[in-house]
Amino acid sequence: MRSGKAVFMDSSEILSRTDHTLLAPTATWAEIRKICDEGIKYHTASVCIPASYVARASSYTKGRVRICTVIGFPNGYDTTAAKVFEAQDAVKNGADEVDMVINIGYVKDGLFAETLDEISQVKNACGSHILKVIVEACLLTEEEKVKMCEIVTESGANFIKTSTGFSTGGATFGDVALFKEHIGQNIRIKAAGGIRTLEDAEKFISLGADRLGTSRIVGLVQKQEAAEGKHC
């Protein structure tokens, strides 16, 4: 589905499922503050920002938008102890949600018990806060993707997430459909990376994605509003 087709889902519905994201290594506080302001204005599901900005963003937003951050990002090969500390630190600083990257090498080595244990430890560190597990689907075989659906379901995490957006590929329609087929009822899906149009966003949602990780959706809605002559 691409930009030549009409969007039938209301933009507010798409925004309510969007983690408005800025994870560039050059991100400044002024840029993070802008992301927060946009998240508040457009009622996004959260703003997803670097861990070093969580405390400041939490103080700035005062609960008007959920704060999400990333740990073990983007490569996932930090030790489990380091990821647990990062999760604890993020929550202490005001993060409402944590997106962690799995150890992809563990999956390639067939160390599935270790992978499950790591995710479970990070979830324990997050407590009642939402944990999303980034599996970097572009680097996995179909068999490995299915196995990660099973592991994430068992782990106690809240979401399986397709991608960091910093590897060789982002979310695909096929991966979201595959995840939907194999995850447990308690697990939701976050599609992230490469969501370039509102049509893409709607398609991912229709396939089963409950969240979208993207830096583009708010800008697309702003352009849509400008074209329609809205002044918000």
pLDDT score, position 29: 98
Active site residue 99: yes
Comparing CA positions, the residue from 39, 50, 106 lying closest to residue 74 is 50
- The domain tally of the chain equals 1
**Which of 161, 175, 200, 203 is an active site residue?**
161
Eight-class DSSP state of 104? H
Query: The domain that contains 54 carries what CATH number?
Result: 3.20.20.70
Segment 115-139 mean pLDDT? 98
Residues in the chain: 232
What is d(CA 150, CA 182) in angstroms, rounded to the nearest whole number? 7
pLDDT at 231 over 70: no
According to the model, what pLDDT value does residue 9 have? Answer: 87
Quick check: is 2 in a domain? no
Contact in structure between 54 and 88 (CB atoms under 8 Å): no
Q: How confident is the model at residue 4 (pLDDT cuts 50, 70, 90)?
A: very low
d(C-alpha 36, C-alpha 127), whole Å: 24
Mark whether 190 is an active-site residue. yes
Domain, as residue range, for 74: 12-226
Catalytic member of 96, 190, 200, 203: 190
- Residue among 99, 123, 132, 200 flagged as catalytic: 99
**Model confidence at 225: pLDDT above 60:** yes
Is 101 a member of any domain? Answer: yes
b/e code 25-52 from CB counts within 10 Å (16+ = b): eeeeeeebeebbebbbebebbbbbbbbe
pLDDT band at 32 (very low <50, low <70, confident <90, very high): very high
CB 51 within 8 A of CB 69: yes
- Alpha-helix runs per DSSP H in the chain: 11-15, 29-42, 54-61, 80-93, 104-108, 112-126, 142-155, 173-182, 198-207, 217-227
Residue 133 domain-assigned (yes or no)? yes
With respect to residue 39, please indicate whether it lies within any of the assigned structural domains. Answer: yes
pLDDT for 38-51, tens place per residue? 999 999 999 999 99
In a domain, 99, yes or no: yes
Q: Within a 10 A sphere around the Cβ of 140, how many other Cβ atoms?
A: 18
Does residue 105 fall inside a structural domain?
A: yes
Q: Is the peptide bond before 50 cis (omega within 30 degrees of 0)?
A: no
Does position 8 have pLDDT exceeding 80, yes or no? no
Q: What is the pLDDT of residue 228?
A: 86
Q: Is residue 187 part of a domain?
A: yes
* Residue 7 resides in a domain: no
Kindly report, residue by residue over 47-65, the tens digit of the pLDDT: 999 999 999 999 999 999 9
pLDDT in the model for residue 230: 62
